[in-house]
Amino acid sequence: MSKLRHAHLQIAKDYCKSEREIPFTMAQGQHQVIMQQASNSLKARRLNARASCWLKIRGHDMSDERIPEKIKKIQPEQLGPDRYSQELEMMASSLAYYDIASSRFLDVLCQSTHMKLFRACRASLVNTLRDDLEIFGDNGRARCLDLMTEDPERQHRRAQLLKEREKFSKAQEWLDSVRDSDVEMEDSDQTAFADIKEDW
């Protein structure tokens, strides 16, 4: 298990290094869609920030509650071309790539875990247990009895819990008997009361 774990961690590190050093994806269609979504979001935030600066430069009170409404009314034409438009596109492209890469990274790691770690465990588990437990040797019977022996501390705890359960069972039986006797007394009281009414 230690060897498999070490190999699996090394694979994860290699995949992570590959994603950071060599950005690449064949999912160009998906990349374009996500890139457009990211671009729209970045441009909207950039427009909001530029509009705020535009109002501030012109002496507007930025603590005024009407500022958000004024910002919404400002058109891009009023602000002029954004000199950082190319940088926004680069950011959108990077965001789109790493959105795809993060999902791919998880998929690859999960697939690697299933293919290598779990499959190796399934294939070698029986043999490993058989060899490490030493139950097929000359003293196999004694070894099995030793493995089946319960831990003394756990055995003591089990005995305590059984005693507690027995106490609770007796207490429950006593409560049930008291409840039954109360019901019988109520029935007898009602019968006696009915007899008194008839006498009257």
**Residue 186: what pLDDT?**
61
> Quick one: what percent of the chain has pLDDT higher than 70?
90
Residue 191's pLDDT band (cuts 50, 70, 90): low
- Put simply, whether the predicted model's pTM sits higher than 0.85 gets the answer no
**Residue 43: what pLDDT?**
93
Asked if residues 76 and 34 have their Cβ atoms less than 8 Å apart, the reply is no
Asked if residues 91 and 34 have their Cβ atoms less than 8 Å apart, the reply is no
Task: Please list, in sequence order, all residues whose beta carbon lies within 8 angstroms of the beta carbon of residue 103, skipping any fewer than 6 positions away.
Answer: none
Greatest mean pLDDT among 32-36, 106-110, 120-124, 138-142 lies in 32-36
- pLDDT tens digits, one per residue of 36-83: 999 999 999 999 999 999 898 888 888 888 888 988 888 888 899 999
Give phi and psi for 66, each to the nearest 5: -85, 0
Give the mean pLDDT of the chain. Answer: 82
**Residue 183: what pLDDT?**
60
Go through 165-181 and write b for each residue having 16 or more CB atoms within 10 A of its CB, e for each that does not: eeeeeeeeeeeeeeeee
Short-list 69, 97, 81, CA closest to 43: 81
